[in-house]
Amino acid sequence: MTDSPDVSARRVTRADVARFAGVSTAVVSYVLNNGPRPVAEDTRRRVLEAVQMLGYRPNASARALNLGTTSQICLIAPGVSNPFFAWLTDRVEAEARARGLSVVIVTSADESIVEAVSRVSHQSIDAVMISNEVPATDLAALGRSGIPTILLNQPADVVGMRSVNVDRYRGARFAVEHLVGHGHQSIGYIGPVGPQETRWRGWHDSLESFRLPEGPSIEAVYSREAGYRAAHELTALSDQPSALFVASDELATGVMLGLHEGGVRVPEDIALVSFDGTQETRFSIPPITSVTQPVDEMVRHAFDLLTTEATSEVIRLVPELVLRSSCGCPPRPSQ
């Protein structure tokens, strides 16, 4: 019977609580506000039970949230095996805790975002944060859901919603510029390929602006395995680049092993810069220079956005290139 839930399921109201407890809405108010009129203990207990069973949250308007200590938000993520999403997930949890809120997490590897939101919409959820990239077709449905929603990881600006995005295009350009600064003239790319991919586009445009030839570009999905295979493809090329921009840390881990097995040293034979800045880059051998996503800042802005009245706002953050030794910079103590 609940197998076709509606994203726009209505919120629980004070009237619902009154009906369930068998009292008037005024009595519900007296109980929740501790006055002004006294309420018999038995009635009070019945109202509180109704509040709990219905998951009623007073003061939660659809747009600006007056987040109290009983508020609960839901984080939707594509999974947590990718260390970037694990990092983001644990930061959301920590920030929520610091603000006295609680979080439930829904991972949705194969599920549509709209399904995932509908699944939590009849629970006691005051707001949703989404770290998946949401397909344009799903955005409209989310806008209609009535649940305050913050998008955490969109590749492009979204009109009519609230989102916190990282400028991946600029991040990719930082990576290539740094490699050019090290004197490289032939810079390859490993990752998702094509003009719709912001990281590929940043790499491509950056080479163009330096009037450098487009180095080899090897298609790979975001996984260690795919990076490993791409590196083996690269080492088989007759014309190897002297540097690589790799679209994620997870990919880079696989690339590094593939290069190592092919007898290619990093950074001596191929310099490498990746993207994300997870703990893995810091503890890799050698440690990886990575365009680092400002996860703390992303999460802080996302929570701040929840309490604003704005119905449409895009916060665009700039990632930072953190230098380690895979790009050819001098080794330094792990940091």
Summarize as ranges the residues that interact with a copy of itself (CB under 8 A). 1-3, 5, 9, 12, 16, 19-20, 22, 31-32, 48, 51-55, 69-70, 72, 74, 79-81, 83, 86-87, 89-90, 93-94, 97, 102-107, 109-111, 119-120, 122-124, 224, 228, 253-254, 256-257, 260-261, 279-280, 282-285, 287, 331, 333-334
Closer of 73 and 187 to a copy of itself (Cβ):
73
Closer of 122 and 201 to a copy of itself (Cβ):
122
Evaluated on CA atoms 107, 109, 113, 116, the torsion sign reads negative
Cα 72 from chain centroid?
A: 18
Shortest separation between residue 207's beta carbon and a copy of itself, angstroms = 28
Shortest separation between residue 117's beta carbon and a copy of itself, angstroms = 12
Shortest separation between residue 279's beta carbon and a copy of itself, angstroms = 6
Separation CA 86–CA 95 (nearest Å): 14
Shortest separation between residue 58's beta carbon and a copy of itself, angstroms = 8
Shortest separation between residue 102's beta carbon and a copy of itself, angstroms = 6
Closer of 170 and 282 to a copy of itself (Cβ):
282
| 3-class DSSP assignment, residue 83 | helix
> 58: which residues sit within 8 A by CB, 6+ positions away?
14, 32
Q: C-alpha distances in angstroms, 188 versus 17, 109, 267?
A: 62, 30, 14
Separation CA 88–CA 202 (nearest Å): 23
Separation CA 89–CA 232 (nearest Å): 32
Closer of 110 and 239 to a copy of itself (Cβ):
110
